[in-house]
Structure formats: C-alpha cells, structure tokens
Structure 1
C-alpha cells in the first residue's frame, strides 16, 4: 500500500515529505530548491546527470536546484524515504557560497542522521528546533558539495528560449517563437536546451507551470483556479502532472502548510 505525508512551511521555502511507493513512478522533473532525502527501506532508482543511479536503505539522495531527475522503485516491496526541499535563500544564510552536490547519491551516515532529525523537527518540533536542525543538516550537507562554477556562455545558448518560457509559461508558446528568440534551428534549440537544463522546452514549460501552481495553491487558490491560471487544460490535467512529478495531489499540497 502506498502512502505519503507532506509538510511545508507557510512563510519560507522549506518542505518535507515522508512516503512509501510501490508502483508510483516520478516523471522527469526538477525542483527550485536543494532536495536531499534518505532512503529508509527498499531501494529507489532514478536517472540524473546522464546516468542511472540507485539509492539503497541508509543512502542519501542529493539534487541541486533545477537538476532534472525521475524516480521509481528498485525493489519488489517498494521503497520508503524522507526528503526535504530547502530553498537556496535559506542555504545562502548558512553557507558562505551556494553549493553544488558532487554526486546524486551520497554515502554518509552523518548526513542521513541529520536529515532524519530535521525531518522530525519540521513535523513535530518548535520553530527554534526546526532552525537548529536545519543548520545542522546544511552543515552536514556542506561536506559533500563544491562551489558552483561561474556561468559561461556556450555556442547555441538557449537562455533566450528559457527566458521566454519563464515570462509566458501559461501561454501556448510555439517552437517558432523560441527559435526566433534564440536564432537556433529547431533541432539545435532542442539539443542545446536539453543539454543546458536537463529538460526539453516543453518539459521545462510544464515544470514552470507546476512551480507556479505550487505557489498559487499555497496562497489559497483552488485547484480549478490554479489550473486555469497556469495554463493546464483543466483541473484533472493539473492533478495528473502534479502527482506524477511530486507524488501527491494539489489538494494534499494545499493542506500541508503549518
């Protein structure tokens, strides 16, 4: 039997989930936060950074902001895990420079233990306890990261296409509009965009819509209103993709605030 429990802060970019999945498969997606979780039982497999990885019991998943990945069970009985999403602004308060995870699977009992304590504090502790455990978890995380490299321009830069999607994510953009913005051919645009952001332009647009949906749901909008405002065909379409990418329904996400 599958189950999920979701928690999110009402006043800052901090969320957590405890879940057990047997058949759910995460569609390829990304988060606008640092995401790290510990597998408690079973094993989960996922594709990230051009390869397939497996996180077994006791190992930590580590995703950078905007790092595309999917996920599925890698054991007959499914897997149980805890995951925390920490906004870059919170990490910046605790580390002198924004980090980049070196590896998507980390073998660190210290980090796994810090994550478990943080997860418990988020759901059950006081505000002070939450802040303290967040500090401990980020410091444990820092041992497994390296500084973000400076941004450099590359031939076939797809950033203009990304900017257009960001500005008009709820609209029905065409490939022609993106090629005009970048000066690239359709094939060159697709190849450069996927190489840079880990998602195709259409996947990136859907991801952007889902992130806006999270913001609107957290602000009190209904799922039906949110679907209309973010460009989804209807509430059912929003719910289907929300569950595929985040493992919960929009309604469950809206109820999760404390």
Structure 2
C-alpha cells in the first residue's frame, strides 16, 4: 500500500454485512463486481469510476449505489485522493428488510444511477457505518440497516430488480449470455476455453464474447476470476489458511490471489481474514 494510504475492514457476525473505510491516492481498482448490494459514501476528495458504459465521479458528500454483479473500477479523481466508507449487504438481507408485513418478499430493488448526490442518503449511510463499527447493540445495527435500506430504495431505486446484471439485453443475446454465465458459475474452477463456452452458447466464439460483454459488462474470463475471488473470500471467512483458499478457489498460488484480491477489493486476504 502506498505511503499515506490506509484501510480498515470488518465483517459482521451473524449478518451478511461487510464494511470498509479507506483512503487511497494512487491505488486503482481493477474492473470487478460484488455479489452484494454496495452503498458507499465519499467523505473527502473525489473518486472516479467507470460503470454502465460511462465515466462517473463521486465527490465528497455523494453516495454510490451498486447493484449485485454490477461491474465497476475506481481511482482517485484528484491529486489529494479520496476517503470513503462502503457497506456491502447480502441480497438475502435486502429481501428480509423489504418484505411486507406478512413476511413475503416484495422484490429486489434496482438502483438506476450509481451516484446519488442526496444529503439525506449521505447522512443515512454515515449513520449506518458508524452504527456497524461502533460498540452498539445488534438491535441498533438491525434498526440502522432497515432505516438505511428503506431510505436508499425510496429515494434512489426502482423495484423490482428483474435481473442481477447491470444491463440486460433482450432476445438471443441475453439467452447466450445467460447460458455462458450459468456455465461459469457451475465450472469456475475449470480451465474453460472460448471454444467450451461457445459450445454451450451455440454460437461462434466471438458472438459469445460480444453477447456476454453486452449483458454483463466484462469478459467471461474476468467474470470467472470474480467468481474465484468470491470463493476465496468465503473460504477465508470460514477460517481456511490463505494459501489453501488460493488453491481451492482456482488461483495458481497465494501470490496470484493476493494480487487480484488487492486490485479488486482494495485490501489483502490477510486484512480480510482478520476483519471478523
């Protein structure tokens, strides 16, 4: 980590919730996505990122909202870098928070703009982060989660989320992309080739590649790496040694896992292992 940069990371016990607080100046996130909803607050400076085919900037006081599986990168947009906090929330928690009075799910939200310049939401995310890292009770944390999710959905989203992809295209292109995605999910540990995926998709290699990028915002190989990173996170959270998690998640070695973990998540596997 470059001089002047810092990061803290915590995983919440008994909840699919992870929180991060960081300051970066030279670190640049590689294109990646999360399987969670992610709500971030830029506290100082400004960060730039590409998302949904456009360049975005989140300046101090702005909130970022990423849907599950939404590809994005990130870097400092000013010479002084940026400080931000971000909360990752599992979709099952969002479903629980948004269920109706009888407990029936009402559908997941879709955040249509990844940058929300809304002071009310800035305050909500700030309070949520403070509650999650503070010495408060589990009840207070759950109440803050419910209040923040409700505010985010009410002011920044539409419902329901019809697909976990950030951009969904119709017809044959979508069918091709979904078949490839399902194969990657089932076989992310395998050394798949373009020919393998084209056979599943029932089209040429490059038609398969174009369809997948159009629907999911990244190449199949990048998505496979994201799936391996997610597997490594689960293994590390469960207590597996980092070297073993690297091997079991499909990485060539521990160094390979560390390099991509840092590029995509801004922290090392060791920091993540100690975040509980």
Question: What is the TM-score of this pair, normalised by structure 1?
Answer: 0.97
SS in 2 for 1:188: helix
Q: How many residues align?
A: 257
Give yes or no for contact 2:76–2:82 (8 Å, CA) kept in 1: yes
Question: In 1, Cα distance between the equivalents of 2:161 and 2:230?
Answer: 25
Per the alignment, residue 159 of structure 2 pairs with 147
1:30–1:67 contact (8 Å) kept in structure 2: yes
Question: Does 2:52 correspond to 1:49?
Answer: yes
Q: Deviations over 1:7-51 (max 9, x none)?
A: 112322111100000000000000011101110000000000000
Deviation of the 1:154 alpha carbon: 2.0
In the TM superposition, what are the counterparts of 1:148-163 in structure 2 within 5 Å?
148=160, 150=162, 154-156=171-173, 157-163=176-182
* Pairing partner for 1:135 from 116, 134, 146: 146
Aligned residue in 1 for 2:107:
97
Cα distance in structure 2, aligned partners of 1:133 and 1:208 = 30
2:235 matches 1:216: yes
Q: 1:74 maps to which residue?
A: 77
The Cα shift of 1:70 comes to: 0.2
What is the rounded CA distance, in whole Å, between the counterparts of 2:273 and 2:19 in structure 1?
A: 13
Q: Deviations over 1:54-86 (max 9, x none)?
A: 000000011000000000000111000000011
Q: Is the 8 A contact 1:38 1:59 kept in 2?
A: yes
Q: Secondary structure at the match of 2:261?
A: helix
Partner of 1:191: 210
In the alignment, does 2:19 pair up with 1:16?
yes
User: 1:255 matched to which residue of 2?
Assistant: 274
Match of 2:34 among 25, 31, 36: 31
Q: Which runs of 5+ in 2 are unaligned?
A: 99-105, 164-168
CA distance in structure 2 between the partners assigned to 1:114 and 1:183 by the alignment: 47
Q: What secondary structure is seen at the aligned counterpart in 1 of 2:212?
A: helix
Q: Distance in 2 between matches of 1:153 and 1:194?
A: 14
In the TM superposition, what is the alpha-carbon distance from 1:128 to its structure 2 partner? 1.1
- 1:233 and 1:86 mapped to 2: Cα distance? 29
The corresponding residue for 1:229 is 248
Q: Describe the superposition over 1:80-120 as per-residue Cα deviations: whole angstroms up to 9, x where unpaired.
A: 00000111111111223210002010011111111111111
Superposition deviation, residue 153 in structure 1: 5.2
SS at 1:15 equivalent: strand
Equivalent position of 2:194 in the other structure: 175
Q: CA RMSD in A?
A: 1.2
Aligned equivalents of 2:112 and 2:215: distance in 1? 17
Deviations 1:111-135 (A, max 9, x none): 1111111111111122111101101
